[in-house]
Amino acid sequence: MSHLLDRPVPLSMLKDGAENPRGVDAPPSQGLDSKRQGARRLADLLPRVASSLVLAGAALTAVWQGGAIFAVIWFSATLAVGWEWQNLIDAPRLRLRFFIAATALAFATFFAAEGRFILGCGVLLAAGALAALAAGPRRRIWAFAGILYAGALIVSVSLLYALPAFGARAIFWLCATVWGTDVFAYFGGRLIGGPKLWPRISPSKTWSGTLCGVFAGALIGALMAAGFGGARLALPIFALGLLTALVSQGGDIFESFVKRRFDAKDSSALIPGHGGFMDRLDGFLAAATFAALVAALIGDWSLASGLFDWL
């Protein structure tokens, strides 16, 4: 047996993760590869963080300034989502479908700014029907859904922002809840790991990350709401935050499903490090739509006070 151990170990056994039966140190190239991988991760993370800061700054500026600036910033994001969806489904007459979507979203933005949300929704439904006709029989449902999906963003954020006394508070709470969920889900999944939530649809999402994100997002949102309106609102807002955070994660999974359906990794390449606006706003869009429905059911249809005026 000793003469076998005296034989040199081929380098091929030390490459590509092969076993190292004699405990021989790995060649220097492996150390270089790990350094390259670390540098690559850092290179991917930096534009992701920078893009997030720019988008967050734009969203907060829109809330702070209000008026036309609010409408223009959110319309721009909505328009990008509309274009990405119509381009993603690979249906005929892309330019015509995008023209229909852009026109409808512009009118929906105007009507939402005026507080005429039902009329805005009606415009989106009519435009969705036109886009479905333009898309042809194989993509009609997808073209129709795309206009409603993009339109839900501008209508919901406008509804939440409609009342000055509560509007900014509602948007800030929503941003804190969704962004907190995203950040803690990302790092929680990386640090804890464990079973995947739905590997066929979203390979990187774990149960641990999702649960960490949902709890942390709800807690951050509740703390922000308490800071705005008093500690007595923290517990009911925390409960609402849990549901909102769950919906935001569902929106993330839904957008991943749409991309898998059309064999796309990203919705577009408009945002460095993130892909497209759909990739960045999927959870926020779902959460905003849910929050707007809650506000409409609890309070007046045109007021965001329904989210907070419980006690």
Closest Cα partner for 292 from 132, 167, 128? 167
Whole-prediction pTM value? 0.81
- pLDDT tens, position by position, for the chain (311 residues)? 444 444 444 434 433 444 444 444 545 545 445 555 545 555 566 777 777 788 888 988 998 888 899 999 999 999 999 999 999 999 999 999 999 999 999 999 999 998 899 999 999 999 999 999 999 899 999 999 999 999 999 999 999 898 656 788 889 999 999 999 999 998 888 888 888 888 888 888 889 999 999 999 999 998 887 776 554 556 788 889 999 999 999 999 999 999 999 998 888 888 876 788 999 999 999 999 999 998 888 765 444 455 665 43
Find out whether 147 and 131 touch, Cβ atoms under 8 Å: yes
DSSP assigned state of 165: H
Rounded distance between C-alpha atoms, residue 116 and residue 111, angstroms: 5
- Spell out the residues 6+ positions from residue 39 whose beta carbon is closer than 8 angstroms to its own: none
Residue 202 φ/ψ, nearest 5 degrees? -130, 85
Closest Cα partner for 162 from 304, 283, 17? 304
Find out whether 36 and 42 touch, Cβ atoms under 8 Å: no
